Amino acid sequence: MILAGRSAKALLETVWATALGDSGYTYAIHDFSGECSHTEIARIVDAARAMKAATIIGAGGGKVLDSARAAAADLGLPSSIAPLWHRAMLPAARFR
């Protein structure tokens, strides 16, 4: 299961379809609600159980990544994190 924030999903959904789907991996994207909370983690855990997830991948910012790790820990599943950084998020001076 991929837990994704809005920006990560918008930027990477087609990449995941090609890289994972075309390689024969079954996956689902679960939308992150925006806050890392007990309620959100429980929602992620329920979704992962329902889809019989073998791992949880967090893609996005810190709250998404923390939530993915917490849900995976609750389920005893491995997790992987993919922090989302792109030029628009960094100061322009770094690219001169």
Mean pLDDT of 76-87: 85
Tell me the C-alpha distance between 94 and 13, whole Å.
27
Three-state secondary-structure class, residue 79: strand
58: nearest Cα among 93, 49, 48: 48
pLDDT at 89 exceeding the cut of 80:
no
Q: Give the 3-state secondary structure of residue 57.
A: strand
Quote the pLDDT of residue 21: 85
Helices (H) and strands (E) in the chain, counts: 3, 4
- 2-95 is classed in which CATH architecture? 3-Layer(aba) Sandwich (3.40)
What is the tens place of the pLDDT at every residue in 9-58? 998 999 999 999 888 899 999 999 999 999 999 999 999 999 999 999 99
- Give the model's pLDDT for residue 22: 86
Global pTM reads 0.84
List the chain domain ranges.
Answer: 2-95
70, two tokens: 């917490």
| Helix H or strand E encompassing 20 | none
